[in-house]
A = this chain, B = another copy of it.
Amino acid sequence: MTIIDGKQTAETIMREISREVSAMTAQGERPPHLVAVLVGDNPASVTYVGNKVKACLRCGFKSSVVNLPADIDEDTLLSKIEALNNDETVDGFIVQLPLPPQISERKVIEMIDYRKDIDGFSPVNVGRMALGLTGLYAATPSGILELFRRYNINTEGANCVVIGRSNIVGRPMAELMMQKALPGNATVTVCHSRSRDIKKYCRDADIIIAAIGQPGFVKADMVKDGAVVIDVGITRVDDSSQPKGYRLCGDVDFENVAPKCSFITPVPGGVGPMTIVSLMRNTLFAAKSYRQS
């Protein structure tokens, strides 16, 4: 049984990116520039933005944070986004979610130029991924694909069960796993809240990707021997014994499931760091593919 080290893999990739950036700047090009838009001061959002800024530093990117007040009105935010779309010194940006209730997340996402849409949430990028075209792909699924690649996990013809059908993980994950490529070429089943007997699908699976947001949902009796288990869940569970007052729980009952697996990702330190590194790869892609010289 191998515990997949997402943290270490992410470090390796950031070093690779950093080398590419050095080569860019040696040729007189600007380094990639990522902007994070932070509305209000939700503590989790502040942490996430901080992690992205740190990753930019590691990769040799320029980064900026645009802080906006929590009571900003929608039109003002949309005009800020338009300004970022038109700013030639910005290669890409992220609007940290969730947004305050007076703002339509959908409108904000649709306003972002697809060439700067580092999260890969805009319809154009969702469509390009589904069609197998190059573009900015959703970060978590492409981070998981990179783990399969780096750990030489063969997905060809595998029975892959994705639990969860969210727009940012479950659905794009399924698209990537069924693509005509490697990693890919898997037979993919998507289970969700309306599925009957998820256990049955999981028991037959060679690969389980759990993205349902229910701590410990995947139990040992749902996993066959030798399966690959990828845990996307990351829920804060109250725990007064921890310094922060909570601990992070995945969707998999790691302790009991791990012994049955060929490969498994831990939480934290599995999928999470790969998500951030995918955002870095997207920023580099945007700088190389879409920058107006």
Contacts of A106 in B (CB 8 A): 133
Stretch among A122-130, A251-259, A274-282 lining the B interface: A122-130
* Bound Cα distance A174, B172 (Å): 12
Are B156's CB and A194's CB within 8 A? yes
Contacts of A263 in B (CB 8 A): none
Are A131's CB and B167's CB within 8 A? yes
* Interface membership of chain A positions 120-155, coded 1 if the CB is closer than 8 angstroms to chain B and 0 otherwise: 001111111011110100000000000000000000
Most chain B beta carbons < 10 A, residue from A106, A180, A187, A192? A187
Given known contacts A180-B165, A190-B187, A194-B157, is B127 in contact with A171 (CB within 8 Å)?
no
Are B196's CB and A187's CB within 8 A? yes
Copies of this chain in the oligomer: 2
Partner of A175, one of B123, B135, B171, B186: B171
7 closest Cβ contacts across the A-B interface?
A127-B127, A123-B127, A126-B127, A189-B189, A187-B195, A185-B194, A157-B196
- Taking the closest CB of chain B, its distance from the CB of A259, in whole angstroms, is 26
Partner of A125, one of B127, B185, B188: B127
Give the bracket for the number of chain A residues in contact with chain B: 35 or more
Contacts of A133 in B (CB 8 A): 106, 123
* Interface membership of chain A positions 179-203, coded 1 if the CB is closer than 8 angstroms to chain B and 0 otherwise: 0100001111111101110000100
Are A188's CB and B189's CB within 8 A? yes
A residues whose Cβ falls under 8 Å from a Cβ of B: 106, 122-128, 130-133, 135, 156-157, 159, 165, 167, 171, 174-175, 178, 180, 185-192, 194-196, 201
* Bound Cα distance A156, B192 (Å): 11
- Taking the closest CB of chain B, its distance from the CB of A283, in whole angstroms, is 20
* Bound Cα distance A201, B180 (Å): 20
The chain B residue sitting closest to A159, CB to CB, is B196
- Taking the closest CB of chain B, its distance from the CB of A13, in whole angstroms, is 26
Contacts of A131 in B (CB 8 A): 123, 126, 167
- Taking the closest CB of chain B, its distance from the CB of A236, in whole angstroms, is 25
Contacts of A171 in B (CB 8 A): 130, 175, 178
- Taking the closest CB of chain B, its distance from the CB of A196, in whole angstroms, is 5
Contacts of A180 in B (CB 8 A): 165, 194
Contacts of A188 in B (CB 8 A): 189-190
Q: List 9 other contacts, CB 8 Å, given A130-B167, A159-B196, A186-B194.
A: A123-B123, A123-B125, A123-B131, A124-B124, A126-B126, A126-B131, A185-B192, A185-B194, A187-B194
25 contacts between A and B (CB under 8 A): A106-B133, A123-B127, A123-B131, A124-B127, A126-B127, A126-B130, A130-B167, A130-B175, A131-B167, A132-B167, A157-B194, A157-B195, A157-B196, A165-B180, A174-B174, A174-B190, A180-B194, A185-B192, A185-B194, A186-B194, A187-B190, A187-B194, A187-B196, A188-B189, A189-B189
